Amino acid sequence: MRGWREALLPPEATIRQAMECLDRTGLQIALAVDAQGRLLGTVSDGDVRRGILGGLGLDEPVGRVLNPDPVVVPAGASREEALSRMRAQSLHQIPRVDEAGRVTGLDIWKEMLSPRRRPNRVVLMAGGEGQRLRPLTDDRPKPLLEVGHKPVLETILEMFAAAGFRRFTIAVNYKAEMIREHFGDGARWGVDIDYVVEPAPLGTAGALGLLDDRPQETCFVMNGDLLTTVHLDRLLEFHLRERAAATMCVRQYELQVPYGVVRTEGHEIRAIDEKPVHPFFVNAGVYVLEPEALEFVPRGERFDMTSLFSALLSAGRRTAAFPLREYWLDIGRMDDFERAKDEYADHFPARPA
């Protein structure tokens, strides 16, 4: 229950302040309380993301995303009682409150039970040529370009390994031998790595059709040329809660019209919007898939991830969007590569040796 007071929010807090609280504490929950410390409701990472997807602004009141009826346990509940309630409700955190409704503590599942290694497969797509990054990619594949004194793909692998993932498949094509030589069987990172070799470029999802040992459990797929600090446990929790066949991480992208937009009715001007900004959600290149989704990927054919999601939608399968609010950068162009080198140390601090 350490540090739970840092998760307290006043009722007048904004969604932005709730986000900052979630990131600062790492507890994955914020507790809105009144002046007497009585619990008004809770805010999770998922609550914030759903609000963003719904179009809420970050400066709107936290009450717009608040869960006003959270599950709690009495202040004097035993450890076993708290764990039982959390297990029954599929919760990772549960507040303790006294008879007056005042918060007295916060139980965290991870702190109460030793974390287990995750069985989920991680497939990293690393077969692209990186033509827009030539001449840097003339003698090495794009995932091996170094940012922060290590290849981009190594940063990605370490992110998953730090979150408990141990089973990796790397899909390779362009200069595949260089990637094999660098990562080997994964022993250096304490993980197991195997490889899928694309005979020709198969798009952003085609390599999934070459998996001989197809995953029997939820799996992750990620492009090998991204840098992100996405919380993988929150992503997996979101996907499972949504009961989706596939979840796509999305990033908000704003497009500004450089002119005044005139709205008319017939020949009459009704309004003029000066250089309006239109927000969109774009594909961020990180996915969570159920085994059933892989059945839609043809074997040995070029197939993009967007085509997979379209096929799932046509078949009536449920798909979900997980909005990224963490750091994210697609290293697709030379200016992106230079930006990544400038920003790396701020978002990926060096790990202790």
Enumerate the active-site residues.
275
Dihedral angle computed from the Cα positions of residues 236, 119, 285 and 64, in that order, rounded to the nearest 10 degrees: 10
CB neighbours (10 Å) of residue 190? Answer: 8
**What is the C-alpha to C-alpha distance for residues 43 and 55, in angstroms, rounded to an integer?**
17
**What is the C-alpha to C-alpha distance for residues 125 and 143, in angstroms, rounded to an integer?**
9
- At 46 the three-state DSSP class reads helix
Is the N-terminal amide bond of 70 cis, ω within 30° of 0? no
**What is the C-alpha to C-alpha distance for residues 340 and 347, in angstroms, rounded to an integer?**
10
CA nearest neighbour of 204 among 124, 131, 146: 124
CA nearest neighbour of 42 among 11, 73, 16: 11
| Residue whose pair of structure tokens reads 């409700």 in the numeric block | 89
Burial of 204-217, coded b for 16+ CB within 10 Å and e otherwise, reads bbbbbbbbeeebee
Contact 226, 126 (CB under 8 A): no
| Residue whose pair of structure tokens reads 């998922």 in the numeric block | 46
Q: At what angle do helices 45-53 and 15-25 cross, to 10 degrees?
A: 140
Strand 226-228 with 328-330, pairing: antiparallel
